[in-house]
Structure formats: structure tokens, C-alpha cells
Structure 1
């Protein structure tokens, strides 16, 4: 099992006839280049202590990682599972430089929360309301619009205004709940010891939306991660042949 399997398969097709076309090495200082014979794909690896530059047909990415086992950056990646999301944290430009909004992740998160709510007895019509107001929207492609729709969505939510004096009132909308203090239970006409609070008591709204993980690394970065893993394996094989 690998991360981004479709991209991994694409890399495998591109490099199946890849050949080592340039090799320069002086200790941990390397310049290694491979090129596909039947296509335009090429991958270049440049190393110096604690640094790795992956370049070629799908962009350039500079990794830096200081540690007791990373002076040779090939040792860091040699033989491990390709995990672009984790590797992005080692980029000199930061992980955000290769991340992008993933609409599918948002849709999957919305569907998962709705399914859980329905199982727990959410108000009737929740699925239809979510489908109409969010999932069928032509604005889902925009992260900002999509998040705003999710933040604003409510279905069957009711609110309760509660006063410290014991009085309370249920409302169908939040605005009525907050204005109750001034128009239906005006504390200024009472003894001044009244404190009114408003809370949700029913219905459905999405929770912890700000914590949703909606980003993925972009195609080109994931491609270069898989290509770099392949290239290091080819480099090791070439070194063994020379040693033999």
C-alpha cells in the first residue's frame, strides 16, 4: 500500500525504461540524473550534507533535515514507504508550499458527519438539506465558499434563552433567542441581577469545522516523491554493479 497510488502508478509507467544519464559523486556531494528513453520524463537528485534537491520534469523541491542519521539524505529515504504528506514537512519552503484544497476530502467529511448524525437520530430531511445546500452547489470548487457553506449550515436547530432568575424561552432561530433578553425579558426593568445565556438545544450543525483536514499535496510534488524513491533504488543498484 502506498500514498497516492494513482500517481505512483503514473511514475512507474514513466520510468519503466529510465536510464542513468549523468552521475557525479564526491562523498555526500552528488548529481544523479535519470531520463526515460521513450518520453520526456527525467529526474535529477542533488545532495549535499543534510540537503536533497529533487528536480526534473515535475518541478524542483528542496528538502533539508538535520539529524544524526540524515547527513546523507539518501539514507533518510532509502527503502522507506513514500509518504508525500509527511515528507512535505521537510521542505525548505514549508509544507504549505505544496498543499492544495481537496474538494473530495470536504465532501467525504460532510457525508461522514451527516451519516453519523442520521444514525444518532438527526432531524428528518437532513440528508436532503445537505445535498441541496452544500453537495449540489457549484461553489464547492472554492475552499472559501465551501467552508462558508459548511459553517453556515443548520437544520432543525433550536435555541434556548435562559435567565439566571429561572425564566427561559425556546426559539426557532438564533436572532430571536438573543433579542428575547431585550424585548420579552428586559433585564433593565428588573433588579439588575439577571444574566441571560443562549444555547443550542436541538437540530444539526457541523462541528469543529476549523479542524477538518481538507488539504492534500499537489500532483507534481507527490510525483517527484515517488520518482525520487525510484531513483535512489536505481542509484543503489548501479553502485552495486560497479562494486561487483
Structure 2
């Protein structure tokens, strides 16, 4: 599991530690299951109908379509998600599934600086200080591309250092909203199926 997915999972667990499950509707493949309560931090609900699953709540809204019982499609162990494959099954989304990765952004900026650095140690130090303050310290705030476009630093000889062709850089990764929604789906289905199994065991 990537570092981003590990961090998204830990963050997700912090939201749902005290969540209670409420089954609002259950009729075969027609389900409406809520976790937490509207207004509480990190609440969400899962709604299924034949061929579809929709998640709404604090982790944004996403609707997937694949097989008749979508609870079976997402049935995985806690902590494991497959965002790339699942993204292919999206039919509706309330927000973007990708965003600039702070890790990729930092790596690309540092690599570009390193490839183009000057022979002067003092010049390099001043330039990298400006890069750190104006770019690297902004990583993860959502304005990385704008910061790259606006960055200007004048060297001692009067030449201007800017980042060229940065729009060709691969800076994106999965958005935190999408990853947490994926974790919520798997976690919620596991809770639901455990409750159904327990109910069946008691009835037997």
C-alpha cells in the first residue's frame, strides 16, 4: 500500500471510531445504510440498488456501477482498496478523484532545481531558500500549480530563474476525498456484513 493510501486510511479511522451503523432500508439489493449521524464528523451512508452503489456524506459523493450486488464487488479486507480499478466503474462523482500530490510536487521541484543549479554555492543556497519558502512550504495547500507559474527568482547576474514546462510534470495522485470514500465503502460493507452474519447466527 502506498504512503498516501496508508495516511488516508489512518485519517479515515480517526473519523469513524465512534460511528454506529443504522440500517434504514433493506430489501434484497436495495439497501440504505448510515454510519454516524448527519452533522457528526465523518458520517456517511451507502445506498445500493441492482448494479449500483452510491456513497454520500462527509467523504463526498461517488456512484459506481459494475455487478448486480455492489457489496460483493467492494468486498475486501479493511485497509485495502483498489482506487484505480474502482475509478473505472464510476458513473457519477461529486468532486474530482485526483489532486496534486504534495510528495510528487516536492520531488519534481527539487529534481528540476538540482538539474539546473548554478556552480555558485551561495547562489544555489539563496535560490533554494526562495524555492522552499515560495513553493515547497505550500505543498498540499492546493495552489501548487499557480505557485509554479508565478515563481520568479533573479540571480546575481540578473537572469531570471523560473520553472519551465512544469505543466508536463506528472503531479497528480488520488484525492484524499476519493481515497477516504473508498475506505468508507469497504469499512461500511464489512460492518454491515458482520452485523448480518451475527443476526443470522442468533436466529439459528
Q: Which residue of 2 aligns with 1:12?
A: 13
Deviation string 1:173-225 (CA, Å, 9 cap, x unpaired) is: 9xxxxxxxxxxxxxxxxxxxxxxxxxxxxxxx979744422124443333222
Q: Post-superposition shift, 1:111?
A: 1.7
C-alpha deviation, 1:52, in angstroms:
1.0
Distance in 2 (CA, whole Å) between partners of 1:43 and 1:26 is 20
Q: What is the aligned counterpart of 1:212 among 166, 169, 172?
A: 169
How much does 1:233 deviate?
0.5
Q: Distance in 2 between matches of 1:71 and 1:211?
A: 40
- 1:28-43 alignment, distance < 5 Å: 28-35=29-36, 40-43=41-44
Equivalent residue for 2:180, pick from 223, 229, 232: 223
* Partner SS, residue 25 of structure 2: strand
Give me the whole-angstrom Cα distance separating, in 1, the residues matched to 2:61 and 2:94: 14
Write out aligned runs for 1:129-140 (5 A). Answer: 131=128, 134-137=131-134
Q: CA deviation at 1:56?
A: 2.1
- Give the equivalent residue in structure 1 for 2:119: 124
Partner of 1:239: 196
**Which structure's residues are more often strand, by fraction?**
1
Aligned to 2:46: 45
Residue 145 of structure 1: how far off its partner (Å): 3.2
Shift of 1:237: 0.6
SS in 2 for 1:100: strand
Instruction: State the aligned residue count.
Output: 186
**Superposed displacement of residue 226, structure 1:** 1.4
Rg larger in structure: 1
Answer yes or no: is 1:82 the counterpart of 2:39: no
| 8 Å CA contact retained: 1:42, 1:57 | yes
Match of 1:161 in 2: none
Counterpart CA distance in 2 for 1:217 and 1:7 is: 10
Query: In the alignment, what sits opposite 1:71?
Result: 68
CA distance in 2, matches of 1:135, 1:108: 12
How many Å apart are 1:146 and its aligned residue?
3.7
Change (3 A) 1:135 1:54: same
| Cα 1:96–1:207 shift into 2, 3 Å | farther
Contact 2:96 2:175 in 1 (8 A): no
The C-alpha deviation readout for 1:67-91, integer Å capped at 9, x for no partner, is xxx3322222111522445534433
What does 1:55-204 correspond to in 2, within 5 Å? 55-64=56-65, 66=66, 70-79=67-76, 81-84=80-83, 87-93=86-92, 97-115=96-114, 117=115, 124-125=119-120, 127-128=124-125, 131=128, 134-137=131-134, 142-148=143-149
Question: Are the structure 2 counterparts of residues 144 and 40 from structure 1 closer, same or farther at C-alpha, using a change threshold of 3 Å?
Answer: closer
Retained in 1: the 8 A contact 2:148–2:163? no
The answer to whether the 8 A contact 1:88-1:94 is kept is no
Give the match's secondary structure for 1:17.
coil
Change (3 A) 1:85 1:218: same
